Amino acid sequence: MTHALLPRFLASALLLMITSVSVMAATAADIRASVELRQNWQVLTRNLAFPAHWLPGTHEFYYRVTVAGGFAFIKENADNGQKGPAFDQTLVANGLSKAQAENVTALALPFDDFWYEDDGIGFYLHYEPWHCSLTQANCAKKPETSQPMADDEVRDLRVPADNHLRPSPDGKLQAHVVDHNLQVVDQHGKIVLLSQEGTAGNFYDPQTIQWSPDSRYLVIFRVTPGYARYVTRVLSSPQTQLQPEVIQQLYPKPGDAIDMEQPVLFDLHTGKHTDIDASLFPNAYDLANLYWRADSKTFAFEYTRRGHQQARLIEVDAASGKGRVVIDETSNTFIYQWRGYRHDVSQLGKEVIWLSERDGWAHLYLYDGKRGKVKNLITQGNWPVREVVHVDDEKRQIWFAASGVNAGEDPYFVHYYRVNFDGSGLTEITQTAANHHVSFSDDMQYFVDNYSRVDLPNVAELKKADGTLVRVIAKADISQLTAAGFKAPQVFVAKGRDGKSDIWGLIVKPQHFDPSKHYPVIENIYAGPHDSFVPKDFWPFGYHSGGDKVIGMQALANLGFIVVQMDGMGTANRSKAFHDVAWKNLGDSGFPDRILWHQAAAKKFPWYDISNGVGIYGASAGGQSTLSALLFHPEFYSVGVAFAGCYDNRMDKMSWNEQWMGWPVDDSYLRSSAVVNAAKLQGQLLIIFGEQDSNVDPSSSLQLVNALINANKDFELLEVPGGEHSVGRSTGPIDYVQRRQFMFFIKHLLQQPTPNWNKQ
């Protein structure tokens, strides 16, 4: 070692020594307490309500609320204030216990939301729809009632289509498909129309039949099937047998051939049928929201071109079968049609409300539907419309959600507004500076406003349409949670790479935080371009916030870390330019902004120690971003735990990846690939994935493993037998997976020994 290097070496060694003695080594009891923090804290709030849902056509609404021992579902009448249980939770718990052969308790039902249906309720459990009776203890997973579409792009032809007779509005005719052809019969079963050209390779899909309101016409899609790609998984440890089980899942990937749909118009008076001109929708990725106008003279549908750079509204004249383009939207990057919106005023199409980002922000436009020209902007400003809630054609008013309107507030806070079609009369109906979740009764006479911030516990209020308070439904009591040591995360803002954009994030400190000490920093990352992910609501266990929740960050912080989360450029809910950073660039993950944010925090807070590298963890797209941090920014990120990641976008589901990386598949996919760039790994890496991940192909993780081995890189690997995309939650103990994550950071970021759990 040269004398020139000695001072720098000694300084680094001294800094490491200072850091290591600043935070005491975690014991087995410390780790166990962190792993169990969620289950211990989730019962410590009272009267904390979640967003409400209204029963259709009524003034009754229901919601979930925290009570002693867990959660209760409450139903309440807006008019008279009467309330009671939304359903018999004990009955449902008994039914689920029998159906799953495991104990389920009434105040710990395994779902957050439900809906009323038939004689009971429906909900999702482990990604699958379930039904529970409310008259007897009987619950079951719901059978498939229609032919599923994998990733909404390729029909699963292993499952029969729902081919029941579909009656015309006047009840005189019925339509279905026989031997791949459309057949229409009258009330006596006599065939009045039968197509001839349908084949197994070019079939009519009965699930797409749409009658015109006057019963004269119907439109149906004729389908040329796409490529049936199957992901094959091996369930190594089934619960019902000794030998492994093979599972196949239809799973289209970027670049695969998809189902090609041809709308065909049938005239029941003449027997004539017309293929709608496909030159209006070339290379279609999606034909969506087909809708007959109320006068039966036209129907319309939305078209997205593959590659997501063109979207159109196409109208078809029923008498002639001729189509025309009403609205044509193009972009040099992507059009985010998942957030698109269209409304035909008075169901006639003479005027159309359309959402566009053409001026750099997501806004509503009023179109002349006949001329295809913009009449006026409805909303405008440097803020995005987030959701259209209701349109009143008679009053010519729109209710919508938006964020970033109010100067001085967090630009991600959602508020609700009313505006006239001509853009006048913009009125805010949620005044509190917080993040709002609003639900309206069908007749728009009432709404429930559930608002909070990370430092403001949930308040749920019932209001009239004009914003007048009717009553407070629930106001959270967090006294027990506070007594247990809960402290709200700290909001921190710094400038991004452009020197202008504010990057918003949260800092979570240990419960026993000492500002005189130095704490290494770990970033919780989820950078998917489909949304923003830093929690804006209070609830420490999270809802509508994406990624990991504040409680998981707190549990990790308690072991001697500062844990942070921020939304960098490339995520949604800001300007189009902010979002466009992700285009063909998922490997970026906003890291230039994130690194600047960390550096700004370290400059401001002496206890924020990034001198020995920053740790990082994330799941799914966050797993991919974790690898991107270690591979592309090894000078800054030194330790990572990657959960259930897609490490090469060619291996993941088509819809999500082509939306951001484009089509056809090009070298941008390679540039963002952790598998292709695996040889760049310098830091410490733990890969965790579930053997039965149905969201991201598990082979993506193993291909990364293969690439790392071939590059002679060291890493750790945990594959959870039977684990789904949530890794261990559905089939194994999540505390084991979380414990392994926590210990990895203790070992490699704190550089401390970890307990021998085999002797615990």
As a three-state string, the secondary structure of 566-627 is ECCECECCCCHHHHHCCCCCCCCCCHHHHHHHHHHHHHHCCCEECCCCEEEEEECHHHHHHH
Asked if 326 and 300 count as a contact pair (C-beta separation under 8 A), the reply is: yes
- The yes-or-no verdict on residue 732 having pLDDT over 70 is no
Quote the CA–CA distance of 754 and 170 in Å, as a whole number: 73
Quote the CA–CA distance of 12 and 230 in Å, as a whole number: 52
Rounded to the nearest integer, the mean pLDDT of the chain is 94
pLDDT of residue 294: 97
- pLDDT by residue (tens digit) across 318-343? 999 999 999 999 999 999 999 999 99
Helix (H) or strand (E) run with residue 14 in it: helix 6-22
17: pLDDT confidence band, cut at 50, 70 and 90? Answer: very low
CA terminus-to-terminus distance, the chain: 43
Per DSSP, the three-state class of 248 is: strand
- Nearest residue to 197 via CA among 216, 182, 219, 217: 182
Asked if 741 and 6 count as a contact pair (C-beta separation under 8 A), the reply is: no
- The yes-or-no verdict on residue 312 having pLDDT over 90 is yes
pLDDT of residue 638: 98
What is the pLDDT averaged over residues 420-447? Answer: 97
3-class secondary structure for 53-89?
EECCCCCEEEEEEEECCEEEEEEEECCCCCEEECCCH
Lowest mean pLDDT among 235-249, 427-441, 566-580, 727-741: 727-741
- Burial of residue 602 (CB within 10 Å: 0-12, 13-18, 19+) is middle
- The yes-or-no verdict on residue 14 having pLDDT over 50 is no
Helix (H) or strand (E) run with residue 21 in it: helix 6-22
22: pLDDT confidence band, cut at 50, 70 and 90? Answer: low
- The yes-or-no verdict on residue 64 having pLDDT over 70 is yes
- pLDDT by residue (tens digit) across 529-564? 999 999 999 977 654 333 347 889 999 999 999 999
Helix (H) or strand (E) run with residue 22 in it: helix 6-22
74-83: list long-range contacts, CB under 8 Å, 24+ apart.
Answer: 76/462, 76/473, 78/441, 78/445, 78/446, 78/462, 78/470, 81/471
pLDDT of residue 8: 33
CATH number given to 489-752 = 3.40.50.1820
Quote the CA–CA distance of 86 and 74 in Å, as a whole number: 5
Quote the CA–CA distance of 521 and 506 in Å, as a whole number: 12
pLDDT of residue 39: 87
Residue 235: φ, ψ to 5°? -85, 105
Quote the CA–CA distance of 250 and 751 in Å, as a whole number: 44
Asked if 727 and 689 count as a contact pair (C-beta separation under 8 A), the reply is: yes
Q: How far are the Cα atoms of 20, 236, 625, 644 from residue 726, in angstroms, in the given order?
A: 33, 18, 17, 8
Number of residues written out for the chain: 760
Number of neighbours of residue 87 by Cβ within 10 angstroms: 17
What is the pLDDT averaged over residues 31-42? Answer: 92
Asked if 597 and 566 count as a contact pair (C-beta separation under 8 A), the reply is: yes
Q: How far are the Cα atoms of 311, 393, 503, 589, 684 from residue 552, in angstroms, in the given order?
A: 40, 46, 22, 21, 21
Number of neighbours of residue 746 by Cβ within 10 angstroms: 23
Per DSSP, the three-state class of 245 is: strand
Residue 198: φ, ψ to 5°? -70, 135
Strand ranges inside 181-331, DSSP E: 181-186, 191-194, 203-204, 210-211, 217-224, 230-235, 245-250, 260-267, 273-275, 284-292, 298-305, 310-317, 323-330
- The yes-or-no verdict on residue 276 having pLDDT over 70 is yes
3: pLDDT confidence band, cut at 50, 70 and 90? Answer: very low
- Nearest residue to 32 via CA among 689, 558, 732, 685: 558
Residue 743: φ, ψ to 5°? -65, -30
735: pLDDT confidence band, cut at 50, 70 and 90? Answer: confident
Q: What is the pTM of this model?
A: 0.94
Quote the CA–CA distance of 89 and 75 in Å, as a whole number: 13
How do the domains of the chain map onto residue ranges?
A: 53-143, 146-223+259-275, 489-752
Strand ranges inside 468-539, DSSP E: 469-475, 490-495, 502-508, 519-524
733: pLDDT confidence band, cut at 50, 70 and 90? Answer: low
Q: How far are the Cα atoms of 46, 47, 72, 212, 476 from residue 68, in angstroms, in the given order?
A: 7, 9, 9, 53, 13
Per DSSP, the three-state class of 285 is: strand
